[in-house]
Amino acid sequence: MIIFDSHFHLDPQGDCENAIRRFLKAGGTHLILVNKPYRDIEAGNFQREYEVTLSLTERARGEGAKVYVALGPHPVQLVRLRERVGLQKAIEKMREGYTLAFDHIIHGRALCLGEVGRPHFDVPREVVDASNSLLEEAFLQAKDAGCAVILHTESATVKTFEELARMASKSGIPLQRVVKHYSPPFVLPGETCGLMPSIIASRRNIREALKKGTRFLMETDYIDDPERKDIVLPPDAVPLRTRELLKSGELTESIAWKIHSDNPKETYGIDLK
């Protein structure tokens, strides 16, 4: 049975292989390993950051997991760079991060762009505007590259989805290729506005999502932080939740296939085997 975690992090200082073993032991099969800022890498050194993510990918694959990669400049990096070099130079560094990520995608070293967008905490308006401008540029590049985009933003409401959908629509990128990471249990068309929700796999979230439909992905957003174990969810949460709901009858095998295989194919263009 295919079980796919759509948003998973590893860290060189974290559990790494042990986290992957937990995922596999619980029945997980496939995941997207998403780039993140690493504590020992200076903000803006995206080449080194991506090298670490790609190295972690190979370590995860060595444990037997089927791993896809998302690379991109995390929006918090704009905040850190602005504090150090000013906003304009920070924007230029972020553009370099996007360009390098797309190079990896075009040459097959990564599957998609992510996680990108805007900070999840309060920042000055100029940072929000710069983040949105960079994201609109990224949508255009992703459309040309034929890849999906994984979004990191503030806690999402329907209005957030509407705004992001409008921004993406301007580029012509298919909206199902735009993933709202850390989504609440939004599934209905009026809630998602065409974007693909990647829902944190808590019991409450997934049960609520299943009442509305099957067009969503499941994620842990496991961060592999050595100082905060099993944050956001443990690495085995998606397979454990899936099997728990199958056992209770709240989830059927055909619906599980839709969530874990058909939806990733629609979004990322991947055939999971």
Mean pLDDT by 10 residues, the chain (273 residues): 97 97 98 96 97 98 98 97 97 98 98 96 96 97 97 96 97 98 97 98 97 98 94 98 97 97 97 88
Q: Is there a domain that residue 59 lies in?
A: yes
How many structural domains compose the chain? 1
The whole domain housing 255 covers 4-268
Identify any residues that bridge with 152 across adjacent strands, giving them in sequence order: 117
What tokens does 248 get? Answer: 């209770």
196 assigned to some structural domain? yes
**Residue 223 has what pLDDT?**
97
- Residue 178: both structure tokens together: 């735009």
Give CA–CA dist 108/119, Å, rounded: 28
Residue 157: give its domain's CATH number.
3.20.20.140
Q: What percent of the chain has pLDDT over 70?
A: 100
Q: Which among 7, 52, 43, 46 is positioned nearest to 28, based on CA atoms? A: 7
What is the structure's pLDDT at 273?
81
Span 57-83, pLDDT tens digits:
999 999 999 999 999 999 999 999 999
Burial letters 175-195, b for 16+ CB under 10 A, else e? ebbbbbbbbbbbbeeebbbeb
How far CA 14 is from CA of 19, 56, 79, 148, 222, in Å, comes to 9, 11, 25, 27, 11
> Does 273 map to a domain?
no
Phi, psi of 160, rounded to the nearest 5 degrees: -60, -45
What is the structure's pLDDT at 2?
97
Distance CA 142, CA 273 (A): 25
pLDDT of residue 63: 98
The answer to whether residue 112 sits within a structural domain is: yes
pLDDT digits (tens, 9 = 90+) for 158-179: 999 999 999 999 999 999 999 9
User: What are the Cα distances from residue 80, in Å, to 38, 72, 90, 131, 150?
Assistant: 13, 16, 8, 13, 21
- The answer to the question of residue 57 being in a domain is yes
In angstroms, the CA 59 to CA 55 distance is: 6
